[in-house]
Amino acid sequence: MGKILVLAEHDQHALKDVTRELLAAAARIGEPVAVVVGLPGTGDALLAELGAAGAKTAYVAETEHAEDVLATPAVLALETVANTVDDIAGILIASSVDGKDVAARLSVRLNTGLIADAVNVEESDGTVMATQQVLGGTYSVKSTVRGIPIITIRPGTIEVTQPTSAQPSKITIDIVVDPVGSGQVVARDEDEIASSGRPDLRTADIIVSGGRGIGSKENFAIIEQLADALGAAVGASRAAVDAGYIEHKAQVGQTGATVSPRLYVAVGISGAIQHLAGMQSAKTIVAINKDANAPIFQFADFGIVGDLFEIVPQLIKAVNARRSDELINI
Amino acid sequence: MNVVVLIKQVPDTYGERKLSPEGRLDRDVSDVIIDEINERAVEIALQLQEDVGGEVTVVTMGPKSAVDTIRKALAMGANKAIHIVDDGLAGSDALQTSGAIAAALKTIEFDLVIAGNESTDGRSSAVPAMLSERLKVSLLTNLVTLSVAQGSVAGTRSVENGTMEVRASLPAVVSVAEKIADPRFPKLKGVLAARRKPITTLSISDLGLFPLEAGGENSWTQVNDVIAQPARTSGTVITDDGTAGTQLAGFLAAAKLI
């Protein structure tokens, strides 16, 4: 088995969860090798965490432009490592907004194929094969690449491995980043969902989504209350987003987030194909809608026809009651 | 300022979509339309044109039928079009597609290329970034606002945990997200005018591509297996009798979901 390069995503101080997932995926198909691109000092800050997540080696490229130049530093670092290290069998990158840019540009530089948004990777007879879910999760497609495969992996789809205490060997690489000719970052702004303490929509275990049936921006609070009772992320149908009940980031569906949580609770959502394309791979689907003919009921494991404003408060109460029962039993 | 908008014909996401055993889109079962995100890209290009002048050229790669997609963009107000069309291109992957589009763009002058952030069929988001790399110009992706001034393009870029203000010098390739603009509806006058607007068609040989650079047979990515997921079936559906919320909590507890 060859070396699998993993582009580490981090916030300069700590790894993002997806990096541990990428390293776990890399271990399935070869020897995990991390590539870290960051501000000066980042490599040493992340080395122990990378080792714990399974990296045997870490190539570190540090540059003052790590935060203010888009994609180019990572493309240069990966290109450098790919062209100097022998026996590379694959390159794994997070299927994030930044990761997708890096992977696509690298694919041209190295003149090798790209498989986007994979949910699994495996190795057989020395060939790396990636699985994608396509057309709204209605098909699962396995593909290979001529040459070294570059694969972006959907966050939240790969189970992480048990932490180890190994310290990876650190190899410093030099890159020269010229900001001219690259996209540049002028300012950053973190949004409310990210700081709300709720789980991230794309990787959440449980999601509560509201649709047009919620009726108003004010009423959408009922979705947030149910989400908090269940420890869930908040989602929405396109109709709810278009009506201005909630921001676009919460949109689940063909043109929003694709999610596959353990539990998806659709409240006041009719279940247009557009929406189903983003959530039908959820393990369990629950639907609450006043229209008995809503298409969502054809997909739901448990459906309730009725007034959501009666049902949801009762559900929140029942969930909280079970929680406090558990606490008493402990 | 001359703007190029990349557009694509895709199966309607409101209808049935199927893959062939080779992993290609089965165009016979689906209604094909212009990808909605492309209409938004054309809209923002037309708004830029209203501000600073210049021409808007739409570029697509696809079968002959993709001319309908071109007409739609021309009816909205784009000035002209390039249609990359050749049977030998069928089944091309993103790397090959970006190569063909890059070759087509070398036949015209442009300052800015605008693409959608993600097509509704392939969803790889790869072509804009690959194109920027091939053309050796700067790249800004996933923009929700876009403005052009003094030789540079700027905007707000949506990312997982928030937004960032970004800029790049022209020429550049950008991709735009759904929030960028609501597309205008073509007026009858626009539809009629579209019939007279020039569409240049380019084949593999016109583009000077090597045969190995085009088509599914020579694709960098090869599909090994296509598995249709079993359709979901309906479970228990109850009508609320005043206790449905409690019953649901019981269902979730039994399934160990709470």
Per-residue confidence band for A214, with pLDDT thresholds at 50, 70 and 90: very high
CB contact under 8 A, A141 and B225: yes
Query: Residues 62..121 of B with a Cβ closer than 8 Å to A: which?
Result: 93-95, 98, 118, 120-121
Give pLDDT tens digits for B134-188.
999 999 999 999 999 989 999 999 998 889 999 999 999 999 999 999 999 999 9
Instruction: Confirm whether B237 is domain-assigned.
Output: no
Give pLDDT tens digits for B15-34.
778 888 888 888 777 788 99
Residue range B37-56: mean pLDDT, rounded: 97
Q: Is the per-residue pLDDT at A197 higher than 90?
A: no
Which CATH class, in words, describes the domain spanning A192-329?
A: alpha beta
CATH number for the region A3-172 comes to: 3.40.50.620
Among candidates B128, B244, B252 on the partner chain, residue whose Cβ is nearest the Cβ of A311? B244
The enclosing domain of B210 has a CATH number of 3.40.50.620
* Residue A232 exposed, middle or buried by CB count within 10 Å (0-12, 13-18, 19+): buried
CB contact under 8 A, B224 and A180: no
Among candidates B95, B138, B245 on the partner chain, residue whose Cβ is nearest the Cβ of A314? B245
Mean of per-residue pLDDT scores for chain B: 94
3-class SS shares of chain B: helix, strand, coil, % to 5: 35, 30, 40
Q: Where in chain A is the domain with CATH 3.40.50.1220?
A: 192-329
Question: Is pLDDT larger for residue A193 or for residue B86?
Answer: B86
For chain B, what is the domain count?
A: 1
Cβ atoms A71, A183 nearer than 8 A? yes
CB contact under 8 A, B137 and A273: no
Cβ atoms A17, A155 nearer than 8 A? yes
Mean of per-residue pLDDT scores for chain A: 94
If residue B56 lies in a helix (H) or strand (E), which one and from where to where? Answer: strand B56-61
Give pLDDT tens digits for A221-272.
999 999 999 999 999 999 999 999 998 889 999 888 999 999 999 999 999 9
pLDDT on residue A311: 97
Contact status of B36 with chain A (Cβ, < 8 Å): yes
Instruction: Confirm whether B70 is domain-assigned.
Output: yes
Q: Is the per-residue pLDDT at A330 higher than 60?
A: no
CB contact under 8 A, A305 and B239: yes
For A289, the token pair is: 């809608």
Instruction: Confirm whether B234 is domain-assigned.
Output: no
Q: Is the per-residue pLDDT at A327 higher than 80?
A: no
Nearest CA-CA distance, residue A1 and chain B, Å: 21
For A328, the token pair is: 């008493």
Give the residue numbers spanning the domain of B202. Answer: 3-218
Question: Is pLDDT larger for residue A316 or for residue B26?
Answer: A316
Q: Where in chain A is the domain with CATH 3.40.50.620?
A: 3-172
Q: How far apart are CA B25 and CA B17, in angstroms?
A: 8
Instruction: Confirm whether B27 is domain-assigned.
Output: yes
Q: How far apart are CA B249 and CA A226, in angstroms?
A: 12
